[in-house]
């Protein structure tokens, strides 16, 4: 979708919102799949309520993009503009054991920054691509930890109310790859309370997680991480592997040889290729194990 209304464009500038015309989501998603649209980069969080009102009044459909690392977007000209928070400087502020982290902060950089200041707990997330906001929304986790455990306060834009609100950690439910945030809540910042640990000890944990990840996941290929959630008590990756589906592909969309719950874009996979592969594997698991796998990856449109 291209914005052409001069009044709207002027109003965006007034809100300090930068428009990147015809931005390609191929370059902004870890899968390297997706069409083009105008991308609106939000420099000031406080501009969000006015921006959303402006777009609604102008009848412009919009979606929020985080780090693009858990997302499969359709191809071609997209029917909505994409909003994204610009990175803040600094991304993280420390107040004792509390790290105040901007939602657009890179997750990996945040883990290492906190580590260097002797704050641990997040080691398992090293190597997980994406932003802190995205990780929080999905309650990202690995190697026995999940980010929600450390969240004490979250600042977000609540689209339903049209305002920025602050929630206490205790008022948010963090479950396996699921949270009680409303679907259209936009994460803005989080206060994480992290345990004190000497840097050298944290570094050791980080190295172990990095090694485990490198040996079991296709880190050098384009993917969205795990495609399916693990069903209770089972592993989606192991089931897909046991069915002999590694390397099965639709066009350039391919079940990874290294980890069967990672589907990689081995070249120029289209969104339809990837969707077909997901449907095919889900059907095989349903027939083979009687289990209906639920997507972990987010589909645009659903």
- Cβ-count burial 91-128 (b if 16+ within 10 Å, e if not): bbebeebbbbbbbbbbbbebbebbbeebbbbbbbbbbb
Beta strands 163-168; 151-158: pairing state: antiparallel
Asked if 177 is an active-site residue, the reply is: yes
Task: Give whichever of 54 and 125 is closer to ligand EPU, judged by the CB atom.
Answer: 125
With beta carbons less than 8 A apart as the criterion, state whether 82 and 65 touch. yes
Asked if 296 is an active-site residue, the reply is: yes
In the structure encoding, which two tokens stand for residue 262, read together?
């990672």
| Residues 249-278 close enough to bind ligand EPU by CB under 6 A | 259-261
x/- map, 149-188, ligand EPU, by CB under 6 A: ----------------------------------------
Asked if 129 interacts with ligand EPU (CB under 6 A), we say no
Q: How far is the CB of 284 from ligand EPU (least distance, A)?
A: 14
Q: What is the DSSP string of 16-60?
A: TEEEEEEEETTTTSTT----EEEEEEES-GGGHHHHHHHHHHTT-
Asked if 226 interacts with ligand EPU (CB under 6 A), we say yes
Asked if 197 interacts with ligand EPU (CB under 6 A), we say no
Which residue sits closest to ligand EPU, CB atoms considered?
A: 225
Asked if 221 interacts with ligand EPU (CB under 6 A), we say no
Residues lying near ligand EPU in the complex (CB under 6 A) = 142-143, 216, 225-226, 229-230, 235, 237-238, 241, 259-261, 296
Active site residues: 177, 226, 296
């Amino acid at each position: 979708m291209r914005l052409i209304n001069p009044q709207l464009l002027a109003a965006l500038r007034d809100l300090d919102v930068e428009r990147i015309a015809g931005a390609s989501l191929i370059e902004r998603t870890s899968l390297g799949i997706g069409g083009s649209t105008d991308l609106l980069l939000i420099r000031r969080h406080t501009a969000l309520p006015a921006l959303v009102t402006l777009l609604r009044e102008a009848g412009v459909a919009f979606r929020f993009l985080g780090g693009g690392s858990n997302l499969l977007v359709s191809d071609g000209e997209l029917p909505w503009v994409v909003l994204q928070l610009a990175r803040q400087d600094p991304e993280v502020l420390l107040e004792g054991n509390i790290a105040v982290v901007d939602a657009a902060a890179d997750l990996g950089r945040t883990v290492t920054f906190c580590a260097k200041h002797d704050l641990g707990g997040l080691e398992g997330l090293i190597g997980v691509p994406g932003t802190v906001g995205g990780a929080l929304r999905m309650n990202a986790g690995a190697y026995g930890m999940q980010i929600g455990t450390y969240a004490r306060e979250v600042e977000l834009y609540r689209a339903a109310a049209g305002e920025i609100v602050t929630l206490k950690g205790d008022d948010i439910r963090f479950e396996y790859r699921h949270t009680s945030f409303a679907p259209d809540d936009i994460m803005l910042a989080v206060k994480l309370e992290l345990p004190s640990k000497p840097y050298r000890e944290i570094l050791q944990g980080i190295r172990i997680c990095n090694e485990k990840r490198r040996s079991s996941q296709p880190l050098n290929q384009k993917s969205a991480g795990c495609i399916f959630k693990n069903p209770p008590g089972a592993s989606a990756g192991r089931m897909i592997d046991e069915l002999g589906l590694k390397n099965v592909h639709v066009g350039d969309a391919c079940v990874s040889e290294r980890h069967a719950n990672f589907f990689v874009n081995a070249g120029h996979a289209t969104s339809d290729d990837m969707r077909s592969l997901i449907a095919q594997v889900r059907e095989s698991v349903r027939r083979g194990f009687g289990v209906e796998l639920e997507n972990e990856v987010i589909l645009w449109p659903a």
